[in-house]
Structure formats: C-alpha cells, structure tokens
Chain A
Amino acid sequence: MLALLQLIIDGTILGCTYAVCAIGMVLIFKATDVVNIAQGELMMMAAFFAYTFQVMLGWPFFVSLVAAICSTILLSLVVERVVLRPLMKAPVWTSIMATVALMVILQAGARVTWGPEVYHLPPFFGSATIRLGGINLTALDMAILSISVIYMLLLYLFFKFTMTGKAMRAIQMDKEAASFMGISVRRAFSYVWALNGILMGTVGILLAPRLGVHSTMGLLMLKGFVVAVIGGFTSFAGSVIGGILLGVIETLAGVYISSAMKDIVSFVILILVLIVRPTGLFAESMTKRV
C-alpha cells in the first residue's frame, strides 16, 4: 500500500511538469491559435543554459538558475519576434510548421553547440530526502511540486485580477474586438511567449538533474501535447488534472506492466481520448458561428 502511495506521489510530481508544459501550450494556443511543437525544445535549451552557467562557467547555483530562466525567456521572445510575428497574417498552419522548423533547428543547434553527449547536473539541494510517514521525497521533488503549484496559482491570479491578464483573456475570445478596445494583440503575443518561456525554462532546470541534459530530452514534452489534448486544449484546469492523471498512470504502468510501456501508454491514452471524447475531457464548449 505504501509502495503504491509512493508511486502515486512520484507520478503526481512527474505529472506536474507535464501540466506546466501543457499550460504553456494552451496559453499560446488560446492567444495565437498556434500549437507550439517546439515546446520540449525550449525546455531542452533551458537545461543546456543551466548546465552552461552552472557547470561550464561555474556560476553560483541560484544565479545560474535565474540566468537560465531569463535566457529561455529571451529565446522565447526572439522566437516570437523573428519567426512567428512575420507569419502573423499567414494561415495558421504556416505558424505551426514554423514551430516544427524550430524543433529541428533547436535540436540540431544544441547538438552542434554542445555535442551529442548526455551531461549531468548535480542534484539541487544535495541528495537530501524528506520522509513523511514512510513516503520518500527528495528536495528536488519538493521543489517541483511546490513551484508547479505556485506557478498555477500565480497564473490564475494574473488572469483573474491584473489588467494585462484580463486584456489577454479578451484577446483569447476575440482578437478583432479586443484590438478595437485598444488592446495590442502583438504585445499580448509577446506576453504569452514570455510566460511560456518562464514555464518551460523552469521545467527545464527542474528536470535537468533528473533526465540528464541532452539534445533530444525535449521529446519527453510530447507528453505535454497529450495532456493538452486530454484537457481539451483550452482549459488550464484540464491541463492540471490531465497532467497529474497522466503522470500517475504512466508511473504505475511503468512499474506494473513494463518499463517500455511507460512511454507508450500515454500515447495510447491520447488516441483513446481522441476516439471516445475528441474535444478532450475538460473542453470549454465552443459553437462556431457561420
């Protein structure tokens, strides 16, 4: 029983990272109609930034983490400005393809810059573990859990109570009407990409010690897509619930069925969700007017 509980908690922690990734995707999708295929690659770049600052340049721990997140935000903004903004007027598929190009460029670019090896970051806060009634949690686990929760809370407050957040919600509903109200759609696009940079930057540095830093580590965030689809692609709450659900199911499948199933099960879930409830489990209802 305790072992099962441990697995569920491990799964929840993994699921939190999926959820944060999915929230980033949903943010971008709702504001710009673009599905960002390069989501995982942003995370990978964050991990490489952290590795560069902390290990290669020997910067202090916290400084290098903050610098890594800032660099990811910067990268995100550059991507938005250089790649997606010129395509703003083009059909959406062009932008989606552009994010595919980004996936390839960032992956190949990382391989060119840092080489194909797997690098290791020392575990954060040493290897201290906390025991809570028989459940083991590493300091890193605690960090992932608490930071995810804090981010979700902050995002909720941001969209609910700040003027910028409200403006961005208006844009998600109707770009044209919002721009008539004097809201700058372009600026909002930059905001969502910057926010996504924060989210993926954080996920990247949190997962780096666990996964090892390498150019294909972004593939893990394909799970973020699965979560976004489960959540219906428009709902933040759906992303959170879907992410945790997926993390738990995956961890359990990895232990009780086989380790190879760990990765496969999530995509099987994706296809099942598409068959049974194609609009996702938590979709906001949308009626398209003719």
Chain B
Amino acid sequence: MNVKTRLGLLILLLILLAVPFLGGNYMIYIASLMIVVSIAALGLDILTGYAGQICFGQAGFIAVGAYCSAFLMKAGVPFWLSVPGGGVAAGLSGLIIGLPALRIRGHYLALATLSFAYIIHLILVHWESVTGGPRGLVVSRPTWPSFFSQDKYYYLVILFVAIILFVVARNIVRSRYGRAFLALQKDEIISRAMGINLTIYKTIAFVISSFYAGIAGGLYGPLLGFLDPLSFSIMDSAFYIMIIVIGGRGTLYGSIVGAAVYVFIPELLRRAEFFQELFFGVIFLCFLILMPDGVVGFLRRHQSSLFGWISRTGLLTPVERKGGVEDGARFLKTAPILTALSSPSLARGTGNELLQVKNLSIRFGGLMALSDVSFHVDTGEIFSLIGPNGAGKTSTLNAITRLYEPSGGTISFNGEELLKLRADQIVQKGIGRTFQSVGILGGLTALENVMVGFHASHRGSGFLQTALGARSARNDEAWRREHALEMLKLVNVEQHASDLATDLPFGQQKLVGLARALACNPRLLILDEPASGLSPMEIEHLTSLIRSLCRQSGLTILLVEHDMNVVMGISDRIAVLDFGRRIAEGNPDEIRSNPLVVKAYLGEEETA
C-alpha cells in the first residue's frame, strides 16, 4: 500500500468516525445501516465479482445470521460471541447449499440460492413458535459494556467490524486465493490446467460470502432492535446483486458505493415511498446496459481524465494490481534464471520412460477422434506429435491433462496412472501445458497470468494467514511476483508485465501462456502449437528457449506443432498421427523420408 492510498483511506475513515459526533440520531442510523449493508455486499462481491458465481440469496444468508445470533443472545451468549456465531451459522448454510450447486454451471447456483432464500423466508414466516413469524423477533443491543447499547457507540462497533472485514477481504482478493477466484471466473478450463480445484475454490468464495452476510445479519438485528421476515424477501436478495453491480463488480470499494446508493435513495424519495423499488430497479437496469462496470469501475477507467486528484490518492487503483514491475525488479537483480525450475531430482537423458500412453482411444459420440494410439516420452527428450488437421493431436494432449475422458487405454506418468486423477491434480504431478488457442485469462495482467501458474507449484501460506495479512503471506506473494517476472523475462515479454494480457499481440499472449506453464514448475512441459501466430524472430527465440529448457534445465517436452522447421529442428523423436491413428514414429530423418507420412500430408499421388 503506498502513501497516497493510505492517505485516501485515512480521510474516508475520519469521515466515517466523525458521523456519530456530527450527525443526529437519524443520520447515525442511516450510516449504520449503510455499513451493515456494505458488509453483506462485500462478501457477495468476492463471490460474484471475483469468483464470478451469481448468488441470488444473500438476504437468506443475512437472515440465517440475524436469527441465529438473536437466538444465541436469547440463550445468554454475549453479543461479542453471538455475532460471529451468526456468521459461522450462515457460512455453514452456505457450505451446505454451495457444495452441490457449485459443481455445475453458474445458473444452477443462482437458482439454488434463490430457492434457499425463499425457503428461509417461508421458515421465518411459518415457524412462529421459534421465529415469532410475521410478528417478528425482538433483539437486544450488547449489554456489556453498557454504553455500547447507545446508537452512537453501536455505530462505532459496526464500523470497527466493517473495517476488519474490509481489510480481510482485501487481503484475500490480493492473494493466491483472489487470483484463483478471478481465474476460474475467466476460464474454468485454464484454471483446472493450472491446478485450481474449481469446486473447492468456488465453495471457499461461497462460504466467505455467506459468512459476511451472517455477520451483517448479526449486526443488523441489534441495530433495528427487531427482526421481521419481510426484511429478508427474495426482493432483498435481488437488491444485493444490484448493489454490487451499481457500485462496481469485483472492486470491493464498489460494495460501499452501492450500499450508499441503496440506503440513500429511499431518503431522497421519502415523499414518493411507493416508487423506491421501481426506481432502484430502473437505475440498476440503466447501469447494466450503459455502465456495466458500475460507479467504481467507471471512475477507474476514466480516472486520469475525470478525477486527477482522486486518482492521486490511489483509492481507485485496482486492488489486485498494486506493486507491479518495480517490486519484482528489486528482487530480480541477483536471481539466476530458472531457479524455480531447477530440481535436483532431475537427471537428464536417462532414457527411462516419463510418460507412457498405451492404446488410447477417444470417442465423441459416433466419431473416433483417436483410436488405439500408443507412444512414450523419455525423460529429457523433446518429443513431437504431428499430423494433419483433425488427426487427434490436441485430443491426445487433452486426454493426458484429463480435460477429455478417453474411452479406452491407459496413460501413466512417472509410473503413476493419470486417468485416476482430476484435471486440477495433473499439474501437481509435474505436467504443465499451454493451449492451442490463446489460453490467456482476460482481465488479468500478463504478470498476474503467470502468477496463476504458481497456484499449485508454490502454495505458501494457508488461508487464515493470508486473510489476516500475515508477513509470511506477503512474502510469499512477493516471491510469486518476483519469479513470475523471471518467467516473463525468459520468454521476452517482461516489458509488458503490467499490461492486460489480452491487450498484447497474439504471439506475445502465447508466450505469456508459455511463461505461465513454466511457473507450474513442470517436469513435462506440454506445448500445443506454441509457434503459431509468432513472428519469425519470435519463433527463433522460442526454438532456442525450448531447446535450452530441455538441454540445460532438464525439462521433458511434448510438442504439438505445425511449423515443420521447428519440429524437425528441435525434436529428438516424432510420432505422426493421421485420422486418429499413429502411422509412424522415429527421429526427424526417418519421419521425413517415411512414405506414409508424405502421403498423409500431401495426399496419395494419382496414377494416371
């Protein structure tokens, strides 16, 4: 965090701290409400804005937190424990709902959470003996120390909790976890190849979101002194989605802005109370169509032209992009290239089989994409898989990295059966890959793209340390940044480290993908057409890089490539696929002179 950011936050904090001493009771109430709402929105922003999962049930989770902490307080548990208790209860309910629903595509989660919120609402209304039903439930303020029951001091309690939760949220989104959330939002396939277990990470985001909602609920009850099922309707859940979209999805600050809009609109429209919901709905729709980034996103994009002075406070700088190249460059001076890659256990050229593919078949419906293909890749060699379009090369790679389910055959890596593993476990075994299409995560910088590659190879601190901003977590983050930059240097893209990866030319995007695969710290590097779209100069650099990765760093390389100069120039052995079958295997000279191969590429010569 730089000085300007600190200054900006300090000013905001001072304003918030001044509210109870400058404003009247009503002002304090409104400000308290805004902060409570923004806590719940903050959680939802991590889930929806970062992890990209749409949740329509935030009010349901708030209700769980609010009622559970009210019950705890009734049972004599002090306020200070019952509020976290409400958070935990909501988090658990998030786990129960989320685990099944997150396994499938996004809209199921939306529907499951909508249903959840509806069930909660029905339970609140119908289970009168416990929840008080439509008559509501009276909740008391904290009784110790006694002055906290005054509006003024209760406001400070809420503010204090909110600040802690904001810092935690910020720590999370700026860490390995936040990057995994963004990655899975942008591209689930790349994320899996980088070792991100989608179910686990979506669930983590979901539990964080519902925990925040639960805490907000726990604070909400004592604020109003009263809980009413009507405040937790489906409509209220929808409002939380609107809040983060209006404020700016995936920005954290947006949830504060959105909450302010949500709480203050009714104040502006007090005379026309009837129109509030309608008005808010229309505003939301306008934002969706005209300004989908929300207020904060819009300001960020136009910060230099619109708000020079605000941007100088650093408040609007994207949270996850702080400390780019300069931070890394400091570490880089002495760092030898490839430190991250060198692994003492690797012996080059021992000739043992690292990867074995036996009788592999892949079927798409009635189409045999691959039938009965066998080959093996020896440790320390460059093995190429070539063949005309549609021969099944990429399908083979996808089967090895477990993105496709083969219909038959076995694949073993280093003596271990790969078909027993999930796609996200492959990278842990030491297999890194690039993709034929660009395979870049949009919305992330080149550097961040590479840092995603460290997800499995450099785990570092645990979740709690990360969330609480422990020194070790920050050091790990610096390590990742430093080494990611090293990887970018290796592929000659380091000057674009802090540019959005999707803004780079096609060839450089592919190189970023290669750098990311290297960050996985692989023993076997799988390259799917790395040279396509590269300029001749870039190809030359790529070829020598691949060669040195293999010869000097001991990496084994499985290459799929159309550029025959590259393939013939660097391969130790080559296998040729045609129509899903292996038609030849051998060293470059043998392949070049093999009549079957020539026929596959050029077609059979017609005899007149």
Q: Which residues of A contact B (CB under 8 A)?
A: 29, 35, 37, 83, 86-87, 90, 92-94, 96-98, 100-105, 107-109, 111-112, 219, 222, 225-226, 228-229, 233, 260, 263-264, 267-268, 270-271, 274-275, 278-279, 287, 289-290
A112 touches B275 (CB 8 A): yes
Beyond the given pairs A263-B118, A270-B112, 16 more chain A to chain B contacts, judged by CB atoms under 8 angstroms and listed by A's residue number, are A37-B110, A83-B285, A96-B107, A97-B242, A101-B282, A101-B284, A108-B276, A225-B115, A226-B111, A229-B111, A260-B122, A267-B119, A271-B115, A274-B101, A278-B103, A289-B364
11 pairs, CB–CB < 8 Å, chain A vs chain B: A29-B107, A86-B289, A92-B106, A98-B285, A107-B277, A108-B278, A111-B274, A222-B114, A228-B111, A260-B126, A278-B108
Chain A residues with CB under 8 Å of B277's CB are 104, 107-108, 111
B296-323 interface code vs A (CB 8 A; 1 in, 0 out): 0000000000000000000000000000
B56 touches A101 (CB 8 A): no
A101 touches B288 (CB 8 A): yes
Q: Give min CB distance, A200 to chain B, whole Å.
A: 17
Chain A residues with CB under 8 Å of B115's CB are 222, 225-226, 267, 270-271
Q: Give min CB distance, B396 to chain A, whole Å.
A: 12
Chain A interface, >50% SS class = helix
> B183 at interface (Cβ–Cβ under 8 A)?
no
Chain B residues with CB under 8 Å of A100's CB are 56, 238, 241-242
Contact of B364 among A29, A87, A274, A287 (CB under 8 A): A287
Interface residues of B toward A: which range?
35 or more
A105 touches B281 (CB 8 A): yes
Known: A103-B238, A264-B123, A290-B403. A94 touches B189 (CB 8 A): no
Chain B residues with CB under 8 Å of A108's CB are 275-278, 281
B112 touches A274 (CB 8 A): yes
B288 touches A94 (CB 8 A): yes
Q: Give min CB distance, A33 to chain B, whole Å.
A: 9
B78-115 interface code vs A (CB 8 A; 1 in, 0 out): 00000000000000000001011101101110111011
> B235 at interface (Cβ–Cβ under 8 A)?
yes
| Closest B residue to A115 using CB positions | B274
Known: A278-B100, A278-B103, A290-B189. A94 touches B398 (CB 8 A): no
| Closest A residue to B292 using CB positions | A94
Chain A residues with CB under 8 Å of B119's CB are 264, 267-268
Chain A residues with CB under 8 Å of B289's CB are 83, 86-87, 98
Contact of B54 among A96, A226, A267 (CB under 8 A): A96
Within 8 A of A (CB), among B537-590: none
A275 to B281, CA, bound (A): 33
> B52 at interface (Cβ–Cβ under 8 A)?
yes
| Closest B residue to A33 using CB positions | B107
Chain A residues with CB under 8 Å of B126's CB are 260
| Closest A residue to B401 using CB positions | A290
> B280 at interface (Cβ–Cβ under 8 A)?
yes
B54 touches A97 (CB 8 A): yes
B364 touches A93 (CB 8 A): no
B260-298 interface code vs A (CB 8 A; 1 in, 0 out): 000000000000001111101110110011001000000
* Shortest beta-carbon contacts, A-B, top 10: A108-B277, A104-B281, A108-B278, A105-B281, A275-B100, A260-B126, A267-B115, A101-B285, A35-B107, A274-B100
A156 to B274, CA, bound (A): 44
A2 to B115, CA, bound (A): 33
Within 8 A of A (CB), among B443-467: none
| Closest A residue to B439 using CB positions | A290
A48 to B413, CA, bound (A): 65
Known: A98-B285, A108-B281. A271 touches B100 (CB 8 A): yes
| Closest A residue to B274 using CB positions | A112
B292 touches A90 (CB 8 A): yes
| Closest B residue to A269 using CB positions | B115
Known: A93-B106, A94-B288, A290-B403. A271 touches B112 (CB 8 A): yes
